[in-house]
Structure 1
Amino acid sequence: MTAAVAGAVDAVAAELRKVLTLPATLGALVVAVLGPVALAALTASQNPRGSAAEAALAAEPLVMVGAIVLGVVAVSSEYGGGRQIASTFAAMPRRPAVLAAKAAVVAVLVAAAAAAAFPAALLAARLVAGPGPDADGVLGRAVGGGVYAVLTALIALAITVFARSGVVPLVVLVANGSVVSVSFLLYQVTPLARYLPDLAGMRMVAGEDRLAIDDALAPVAGGLVMAAWTAALLAVAAVVLVRRDA
């Protein structure tokens, strides 16, 4: 193992230990995994003739909420009262490497949560109401939902780097995904808004009958657009970390 690879592994391991000690991490994982289970069971109980798979897929927004929390706290925890960020940079002077390690940890945790949430939610819905009718593209939408959650978490991480605080990114991103979508409001003004990250990737998880816009991008194209946004925001975040004081 080369020194560079060993350093990267050590950085990821250090960030993983750090993130797992945060109480907010446990809360985020509970929301992302157990929240969809409870919501899917509730949805299935209210519509016993519906599709258990649709009930499980409809609960995936809670995975997104957990993903946002994980992405935010991975960075905002560094800027608390103790200003841990200075110690982090002292231990790992290559700031882009710190960001890459945080991104890797967040991506793995969110992917694992998403991979556990859908089967568990599907099982809960089937136990409550039986399998019901089949849903279209269940596996693809479940995988797409996991990809969407990972990209959302990484976008949240990048935005928190800019803000150096978790409050504003957390409130804005959760509200945008669950209360009112700024992107959807912009879409009412210009169709170009469909290329914004949340609208671009919506077809990865939403069924045809649940699309908020008429000309949504196809799942693969939308996923690529969302991934491009994520990569660009992370690149800018790396530049910001390098250029400003800790």
Structure 2
Amino acid sequence: MILPRVVSAEWRKTVTLPASWTGAAVALLGSLLITMLNAYAVHADPGGRAFVAPLEIAFTAMPLGTVGATVIGVSVFSSEYTNDRRITTSLAAVPGRVLTLAAKAIVVVLFIAVVAAVTMPLTIGAARLVIGETVSVPEAVARCLGATLFWILSGLIALAITVFTRSGVVPLVVLIVNSSLVSFSLLLSKISSLGFWLPDMAGRRLFGGVQATEGGLGTVPGALVMAAWTVLLLAAATAVFNRRDA
């Protein structure tokens, strides 16, 4: 079959990109560092701790992994438009642009899923090691799956936006600022309920008990809205990629 071969080729390209591993390192080391800092602060002052359970401490850091997922999603496509313009070779080797973009999307999903599968258990384990309290396995699994889905959808949205711009600079700056410094949808939600329907605000409850602000959509409706945004952006990106010159 053609698709598995194209996915395999795209996977090999992705694992050779320094930017992909930079994204993975940001997600893993960033989440782990924030978790350890919070956990030791709680351990040093148990009477005044804001987060009681190790899960709460761990998942407070998980949104930082969105930055790593964004870097991965952007780099998978923007790498085609570097100085050597590998896009021409990629399109010549694959019969169809839709197939190329589909393979890249699959690789983004798989790569982020692997990063999440390593990062989240390590982060939860580190919090539990420092705090010394038990963790509910079913709750931990559910919250890990939700956070992984948020990371994956964020990476796919980053991929779609990068298709529009071709360059990775603008998507990286805008999306990283939005996910780590100033959330534009969060600011909008302060003045209008429309902010809750934007992707990151809609899906924020996928992290479980971690809440940025009150109100908005529930976990399942929010996940569906974020997924709908992802599908819409990918469909638009596919149409643009399929019609314009390489």
TM, length-normalised to structure 1 = 0.92
Q: Paired residue for 1:145?
A: 147
Distance 1:176 1:77 in 2: 22
Identity score, percent = 46
Distance 1:115 1:137 in 2: 16
Check if 1:229 corresponds to 2:233.
Answer: no
Q: Paired residue for 1:115?
A: 117
Q: Paired residue for 1:197?
A: 199
Partner amino acid for 1:225? Answer: V
Structure 2 contact 64–180 (Cα < 8 Å) conserved: no
Q: Paired residue for 2:132?
A: 130
Distance 2:97 2:70 in 1: 22
Matching of residues 55-74 of structure 1 within 5 Å: 55-74=57-76
Structure 2 contact 193–216 (Cα < 8 Å) conserved: no
Change (3 A) 1:90 1:19: same
Q: Paired residue for 1:10?
A: 5
Q: Paired residue for 2:215?
A: 215
Structure 2 contact 62–147 (Cα < 8 Å) conserved: yes
Structure 1 contact 43–55 (Cα < 8 Å) conserved: yes
Offset at residue 33 of structure 1 (A): 2.1
Q: Paired residue for 2:107?
A: 105
Which residues of structure 2 form unaligned runs of 5+?
47-51
Check if 1:24 corresponds to 2:19.
Answer: yes
Offset at residue 126 of structure 1 (A): 1.8
Which residues of structure 1 form unaligned runs of 5+?
1-5
TM, length-normalised to structure 2 = 0.92
Check if 1:174 corresponds to 2:176.
Answer: yes
CA displacement, residues 6-58 of structure 1 (integer Å, 9 cap, x when unaligned) = 10001100000001111111111122223222221221001123321111111
Check if 1:242 corresponds to 2:233.
Answer: no
Structure 2 contact 78–166 (Cα < 8 Å) conserved: yes
Offset at residue 104 of structure 1 (A): 0.3
Which stretch shifts more, 48-57 or 74-83? 48-57
Structure 1 contact 51–134 (Cα < 8 Å) conserved: no
Which of the residues 158, 161, 164 maps onto 2:163? Answer: 161
Change (3 A) 1:137 1:13: same
Change (3 A) 1:135 1:19: closer
Partner amino acid for 1:44? Answer: A
Offset at residue 122 of structure 1 (A): 1.1
Structure 1 contact 198–226 (Cα < 8 Å) conserved: yes
SS in 1 for 2:191: coil
Offset at residue 94 of structure 1 (A): 0.5
Offset at residue 188 of structure 1 (A): 2.5
